[in-house]
Amino acid sequence: MSDEVAIVTGAGGGIGSETVRALLGDGRSVAAFDVSNDILEQIPSADSGRLLPLEVDVTDSGAVDAAFERVVAELGPPGTLVNIAGTNRVVSLADTTEQLWDLLIDLNLKGTFLCCKTAVPYMRQLGGGRIVNMSSIFGIRGEVQQTAYAASKAGVIGLTRALAIELAPDQILVNALAPVMTLTPRVAGLAADHKERQLSKIPLGRYGTVDDIVGTISFLLSEAGSFYTGQTFSANGGDTMP
């Protein structure tokens, strides 16, 4: 698997940038998708021969198609896709505007769908592939002031399960991650009462770390992950027990 081409979306973010680093460290070539080049500049370029940073809005199907074509031309067909691009707001139902609903559903759910749909023909050509989609603990158990976000992330779990069944004959494995609160720079800036409420629900008594999540991604992309599909992996310190 070490020479595989991987695509990571949301690649300049807290979780995305560490995922890019881990996949480069495994010897993969990595196409790093993010919405702005400024953000992508934060990814270290030590492995630049195997790193292709691309400015892509994952909610724009034309931009996604064009980006995949560049990946194939410059790195080769992708056998791995890690959909991390996403965002959140802490906002009550009454203050959830139609515009905010559309933003969260488009980015968190439609963006994931578009990248999966575009990746699958290349994975079929390769005879198989791995897809990891970013959901959230809120997509499993819900949370106050998370209506649109929880709906988008529950949607990611449904999308993942349906794709896992449809794509199993092609040996394309599709799994979801549903982490508990993880203090990336974006999340560290959220309201204190929201963060404290999350911590109070975690029996292990700490927030998640980026390493907790990247470790799960590495497992799912490894040989040891070859019999898992349609699953939701929740790094959550005991917050939710299915």
**Residues recognised as catalytic:** 149
Contact between 100 and 117 (Cβ < 8 Å):
no
- Please choose, out of 10-18, 67-75, 160-168, 220-228, the segment that lies near ligand NAD by the rule CB under 6 A: 10-18
- Please choose, out of 67-75, 92-100, 181-189, 215-223, the segment that lies near ligand NAD by the rule CB under 6 A: 181-189
Non-local (6+) Cβ contacts of 118 within 8 A are 61, 64, 65, 68
CA distance 58 to 106: 9
Q: Which of 24, 115, 181, 220 binds ligand NAD (CB under 6 A)?
A: 181
Name the minimum Å distance from CB 199 to ligand NAD. Answer: 11
Which residues, 32 to 51, sit near ligand NAD by CB under 6 A?
Answer: 33-35, 39
Q: Which of 133, 146, 175, 184 binds ligand NAD (CB under 6 A)?
A: 184
Compute the C-alpha angle 214/163/77, nearest 5°. Answer: 65
Based on the shown chain and the rule CB under 6 A, indicate whether residue 134 belongs to the binding site for ligand NAD. yes
Could you tell me the two tokens for 59? 């909610």
Name the minimum Å distance from CB 223 to ligand NAD. Answer: 25
Q: Which DSSP string corresponds to 121-163?
A: HHHHHHT-EEEEEE--THHHH--TT-HHHHHHHHHHHHHHHHH
Non-local (6+) Cβ contacts of 5 within 8 A are 28, 29, 30, 31, 71, 75, 76, 77, 78, 79, 80
Q: Which DSSP string corresponds to 172-196?
A: EEEEEE----B--HHHHTS-HHHHH
Based on the shown chain and the rule CB under 6 A, indicate whether residue 175 belongs to the binding site for ligand NAD. no
Based on the shown chain and the rule CB under 6 A, indicate whether residue 155 belongs to the binding site for ligand NAD. no
Non-local (6+) Cβ contacts of 27 within 8 A are 2, 3
Name the minimum Å distance from CB 143 to ligand NAD. Answer: 11
- Please choose, out of 14-22, 45-53, 65-73, 224-232, the segment that lies near ligand NAD by the rule CB under 6 A: 14-22
Based on the shown chain and the rule CB under 6 A, indicate whether residue 15 belongs to the binding site for ligand NAD. yes
Based on the shown chain and the rule CB under 6 A, indicate whether residue 85 belongs to the binding site for ligand NAD. yes
Based on the shown chain and the rule CB under 6 A, indicate whether residue 96 belongs to the binding site for ligand NAD. no
Contacting residues toward ligand NAD, per CB under 6 A: 9-10, 12-16, 33-35, 39, 56-59, 84-88, 107, 111, 134, 136, 179, 181-182, 184, 186-187
